[in-house]
């Protein structure tokens, strides 16, 4: 990677000779008129406009599928097809909107329109705080304007701009006093100075060489990208493989076919990771020689096109199965714990056979323990490292081919941990999933929770921190949170639990469903033997923390450890509804 500085005229000359192309993953030109004008105004004032991030093509075989800049330049097609990316050209990774704006205005390349610079308004720039870019105007191509409107492309030509400025400000035919004459010279010099600034404006370019690794390219983009838009591996893959296969279209089709992937807003990179795992194991001469296959971004972008097309359907179905598993086990969109874990699970689905399932009738229970033990790990993150994803895939593969039992990691969770777990800790999400798996029913209505209608509710309302001075950290911890429907969340709002839980039990008694309601509360780890009042806030949450620990121990078994005494285990319904 290197940083260079281009004179604006040099940059535009390169644009005119088709030196810049737009990768397929980039959105189209979307800047409005105000944004374009402010950019040109900034250049005239010699304000910095940020750097452009470019990837230089050095090979005759294009690295990325691309399209032309969206501008009507004589030597530059505005066709949004796929111009040939030749050695020496640059893929615009960041800065398309700025570069296209410059080309459109200063090369007079706006479709069906032309830009002009109002010379009189330019002389008033310093006095135009309300509309600083008013000197830049846009009209239809066939509109005739007076001498005071300079075609924008004249700004790059010193002779043309100077002649026009002098003609406008220093017209000898107009009688002028000595004082007026001085003002004319001053105005001409001022406006000419703006054009000189434009011609000499310097644009910094950060240039990545194609010889740099894919990992480096992605990392550099994520670090430097001024728009804040993250360039994903899938974005690069879309441009890398287009048009065969067209990953963007294939991924769109998959999301329509498997709605669960759209519900959880799954990224296409997950599917490429599954394909890479399948391909890696199939190419291995012996599973004995390699314990795992890393799924780095570089590996994903070096997959063979035929491998992607050949494994696409099985990987898609398996990924959908994995997310369905997560939903069945309590996961909801926006609160999914350790999402990267679903890649190894999807890989497992691509490998498992009906014969193996028949020989291993207890595999569902084992897989469940493995899943929850992993998402309950301290320090687990949403974006688990490639090494860990690959390692867990290897464990599952070893289990499938009979190389030993599935590795279940130890879980260490204490009551004090539960009382302090907040949304920033992945275990917060994991416990939510475990509680929802224990009972998918809403505590208020007793009806099944729709994953699209789930919200995270404070049992003791957050307002208690202010009005009752309760411990805010515990108020926001998982010990004081429960998943309910949107309707229930609105209904309960800031009501205190001693109010609505008493009402809930009273209604249950009148309807002769007291046992059902009490069982529902217990499965949601809400203690029914301690009054949920402000004076008993701490004991109530402590009791709930112990119920949560008991629930974890019941599922994970001997691989679960905590500080506390042996606790009564919370029962699970057979159908977990």
Convert the pLDDT of each residue in 396-437 to its tens digit: 999 999 999 999 999 999 999 999 999 989 999 999 999 999
Residue 63: band (very low, low, confident or very high) from pLDDT cuts 50, 70, 90 = confident
Taken in order 252, 256, 258, 259, the sign of the CA dihedral is positive
Task: Say how far apart CA 487 and CA 443 lie, in whole Å.
Answer: 12
Mean pLDDT of the chain: 86
pLDDT digits (tens, 9 = 90+) for 507-541: 888 887 888 888 899 999 999 888 899 999 999 99
Task: Say how far apart CA 66 and CA 60 lie, in whole Å.
Answer: 14
Task: List C-alpha distances in Å: 218 to 47, 112, 210, 223, 267.
Answer: 29, 37, 12, 9, 16
Residue with tokens 């007076």: 146
Do residues 479 and 418 lie in contact, with contact meaning Cβ atoms separated by under 8 Å? yes
* Residue 486 pLDDT exceeds 80: yes
- Farthest CA pair distance, the chain: 105
Closest to 559 (Cα-Cα) out of 364, 341, 329, 372 = 372
* Residue 500 pLDDT exceeds 60: yes
For residue 319, the model assigns a pLDDT of: 98
For 301, the 3-state DSSP assignment is: coil
For residue 142, the model assigns a pLDDT of: 75
Measured between alpha carbons, how far apart are the two ends of the chain, in Å? 55
For residue 174, the model assigns a pLDDT of: 60
Task: Say how far apart CA 480 and CA 469 lie, in whole Å.
Answer: 15
Task: List C-alpha distances in Å: 253 to 26, 246, 284, 533.
Answer: 20, 11, 31, 52
Backbone angles phi, psi at 19, to 5 degrees: -80, -15
């Amino acid at each position: 990677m290197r940083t260079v500085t281009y004179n604006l005229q040099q940059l535009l000359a390169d644009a005119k000779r088709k030196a810049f192309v737009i990768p397929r993953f980039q959105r189209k030109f979307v800047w409005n008129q105000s944004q374009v004008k402010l950019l040109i105004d900034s250049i005239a004032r010699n304000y910095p406009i940020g750097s452009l991030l470019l990837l230089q093509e050095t090979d005759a075989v294009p690295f990325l599928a691309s399209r032309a800049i969206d501008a009507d330049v004589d030597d530059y097609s505005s066709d949004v097809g796929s111009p040939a990316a030749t050695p020496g050209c640059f893929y615009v990774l960041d800065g398309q909107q700025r570069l296209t704006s410059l080309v459109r205005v200063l090369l007079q390349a706006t479709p069906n329109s032309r830009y002009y610079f109002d010379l009189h308004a330019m002389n008033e720039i310093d006095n135009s705080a309300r509309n600083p870019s008013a000197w830049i105007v846009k009209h239809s191509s066939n509109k005739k304007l007076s001498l005071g409107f300079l075609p924008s492309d004249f700004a790059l030509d010193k002779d043309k701009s100077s002649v026009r400025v002098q003609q406008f400000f220093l017209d000898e035919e107009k009688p002028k006093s000595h004082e007026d004459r001085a003002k004319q010279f001053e105005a001409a010099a001022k406006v000419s100075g703006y054009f000189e600034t434009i011609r000499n404006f310097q644009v910094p370019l950060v240039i990545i060489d194609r010889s740099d690794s894919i990992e480096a390219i992605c990392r550099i983009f994520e670090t430097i990208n001024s728009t804040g838009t993250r360039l994903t591996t899938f974005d690069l893959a879309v441009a890398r493989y287009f048009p065969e296969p067209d990953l963007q279209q294939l991924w769109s089709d998959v999301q329509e076919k498997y709605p669960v992937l759209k519900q959880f807003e799954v990224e296409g990179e997950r599917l490429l990771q599954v394909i890479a795992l399948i391909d890696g194991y199939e190419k291995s001469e012996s599973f004995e020689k390699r314990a795992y296959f890393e799924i780095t971004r570089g590996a994903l972008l070096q997959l063979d096109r035929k491998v992607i097309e050949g494994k696409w359907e099985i990987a898609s179905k398996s990924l959908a199965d994995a997310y369905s598993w997560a939903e069945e086990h309590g996961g909801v969109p926006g609160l999914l714990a350790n999402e990267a874990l679903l890649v190894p699970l999807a890989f497992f689905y691509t490998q498992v056979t009906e014969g193996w399932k028949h020989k291993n009738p207890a595999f569902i229970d084992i897989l469940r323990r493995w899943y929850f033990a992993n998402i309950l790990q301290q320090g687990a993150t949403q974006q688990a490292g490639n090494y860990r994803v690959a390692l867990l895939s290897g464990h599952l593969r070893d289990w499938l081919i009979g190389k030993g039992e599935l590795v279940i990691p130890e879980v260490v969770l204490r009551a004090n941990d539960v009382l302090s777990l907040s949304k920033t800790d992945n275990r917060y999400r994991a416990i939510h999933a475990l509680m929802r798996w224990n009972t998918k029913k809403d505590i208020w209505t007793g009806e099944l929770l729709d994953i699209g209608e789930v919200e995270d509710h404070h049992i003791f309302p957050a307002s208690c921190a202010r009005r009752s001075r309760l411990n805010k950290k515990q108020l926001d911890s998982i010990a004081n949170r429960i998943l309910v429907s949107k309707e229930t969340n609105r209904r309960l709002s800031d009501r205190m639990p001693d109010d609505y839980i008493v009402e809930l039990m009273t209604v249950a008694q009148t309807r002769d469903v007291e046992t059902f309601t009490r069982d529902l509360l217990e499965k949601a780890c809400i203690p029914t033997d301690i009054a949920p009042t402000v004076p008993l806030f701490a004991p109530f949450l402590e009791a709930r923390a112990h119920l949560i620990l008991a629930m974890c121990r019941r599922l994970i078994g001997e691989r679960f450890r905590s500080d506390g005494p042996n606790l009564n285990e919370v029962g699970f319904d057979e159908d977990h509804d």
